[in-house]
């Protein structure tokens, strides 16, 4: 009997089957599958979409077990792929989800079953870097908990979103609510803080050395003005991945799929067709 995973999973698009691409979508820190509301329908037209709320986020369970490190998250995603016998897998990860996608890719390659087909990394955490302020603050457990409880998740999220996008005036009320509402419970706040406390893997140098083993087509999408995971991370990753292709979107911050929905989908679909994606002209 399969072990029940502490994830929330929804599917869209085509049914699994021979020759059907599977897209496993992994959100970033503090996010949920809400982050993929633009990309998911586009991917559903061409394959089987698996939307994952990672443990502790969105609608997923939030156990108080302390196991919120990137490797813990990757282990659960790996188990999900095996339990559902997912094939022709394209791992799609944003920010922290990008780092989790890289760790999951290495696990799938170690299995030797040929499940990994492609990767799409959007502003993914992949190398040692300075923590963005909202993550660094969350590592201060009492301060972060009090801030979210007293100020309110919506006000905190609005402030964070306006500081990570290129055009803060474009942040909408529905966007704020979509990110803030899942963070309204004590359990969600505890999971957020637990993840922040463990967000930098102690063995990251060893993981980085293995990136060249991920020899599958890989789209790397970055906003030129990303202040959370700087473009230099994408540039380094494009050099490390044998088939990595970096596309830089101008006038874009940390949320390409939301800041430039049409442009980002165009780049994504060109890559999936096997073409050479370039950033569309602004």
Strand pairing partners for 247? 221
Tokens in use for 117?
């087909």
pLDDT for residue 234: 98
- Asked whether the beta carbons of 26 and 122 are under 8 A apart, the reply is no
Per-residue model confidence as pLDDT tens digits over 21-72: 999 999 999 999 999 999 999 999 999 999 999 999 999 999 999 999 999 9
Residue 162 is assigned to a structural domain of this protein: no
Residue 150 is assigned to a structural domain of this protein: no
Residue 3 is assigned to a structural domain of this protein: no
With a cut of 80, say whether residue 146 has pLDDT above it.
no
pLDDT for residue 37: 97
* Whole-angstrom distance, CA of residue 242 vs CA of residue 263: 25
Q: What is the mean pLDDT of the chain?
A: 92
Band (277; pLDDT cuts 50, 70, 90): confident
pLDDT for residue 279: 57
Band (140; pLDDT cuts 50, 70, 90): low
Average pLDDT for 149-178: 90
Lowest mean pLDDT among 18-27, 211-220, 267-276: 267-276
Cα separation values, 263 from 133, 259, 268, 279, Å = 28, 9, 9, 7
Contacts of 251 (CB under 8 A, 6+ apart): 166, 167, 224, 225, 260, 282
- Asked whether the beta carbons of 185 and 191 are under 8 A apart, the reply is no
Ramachandran angles phi, psi of 168, nearest 5°: -60, -25
Residue 47 is assigned to a structural domain of this protein: yes
Residue 69 is assigned to a structural domain of this protein: yes
For residue 51, what is the enclosing H or E element? strand 47-53
pLDDT for residue 281: 43
Residue 261 is assigned to a structural domain of this protein: yes
pTM of the model: 0.93
Residue 152 is assigned to a structural domain of this protein: no
Residue 135 is assigned to a structural domain of this protein: no
pLDDT for residue 282: 40
C-alpha atoms less than 13 angstroms from C-alpha of 142 in its C-beta half-sphere: 0
- Asked whether the beta carbons of 82 and 56 are under 8 A apart, the reply is no
Band (12; pLDDT cuts 50, 70, 90): very high
Q: How many folded domains does the chain comprise?
A: 1
The CATH number covering residue 36 comes to 3.40.50.1820
What is the side-by-side strand order in the sheet with 47-53? 8-13, 47-53, 21-26, 89-94, 116-122, 218-223, 244-249
Question: Which domain, by its residues, includes 27?
Answer: 8-130+201-272
Per-residue model confidence as pLDDT tens digits over 160-174: 999 999 999 999 999
């Amino acid at each position: 009997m399969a072990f029940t995973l502490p994830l929330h999973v929804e599917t869209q698009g085509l049914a699994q089957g021979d020759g059907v691409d599977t897209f496993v979508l992994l959100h970033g820190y503090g996010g949920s599958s809400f982050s993929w509301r633009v990309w998911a329908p586009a991917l559903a037209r061409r394959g089987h979409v698996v939307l994952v709320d990672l443990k502790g986020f969105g609608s997923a369970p939030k156990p108080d077990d302390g196991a919120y490190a990137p490797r813990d998250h990757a282990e659960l995603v790996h188990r999900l792929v095996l339990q559902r016998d997912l094939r022709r897998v394209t791992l799609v990860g944003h920010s922290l989800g990008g780092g989790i996608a890289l760790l999951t890719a290495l696990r799938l390659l170690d299995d030797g079953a040929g499940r990994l087909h492609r990767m799409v990394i959007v502003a993914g955490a992949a190398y040692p870097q300075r923590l963005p302020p909202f993550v660094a603050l969350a590592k201060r457990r009492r301060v972060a908990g009090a801030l979210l409880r007293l100020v309110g998740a919506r006000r905190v999220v609005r402030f964070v979103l306006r500081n990570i996008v290129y055009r803060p005036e474009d942040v909408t009320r529905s966007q704020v609510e979509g990110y803030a509402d899942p963070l309204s419970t004590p359990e969600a706040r505890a999971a957020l803080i637990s993840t922040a406390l463990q967000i930098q893997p102690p063995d990251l140098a060893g993981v980085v050395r293995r990136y060249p083993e991920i020899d599958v087509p890989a789209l790397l999408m970055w906003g030129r003005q990303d202040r959370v995971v700087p473009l230099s991370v994408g540039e380094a990753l494009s050099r490390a991945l044998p088939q990595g292709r970096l596309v830089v979107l101008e006038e874009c911050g940390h949320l390409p799929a939301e800041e430039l929905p049409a442009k980002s989908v165009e780049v994504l679909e060109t890559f999936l067709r096997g073409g050479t994606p370039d950033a569309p002209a602004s």
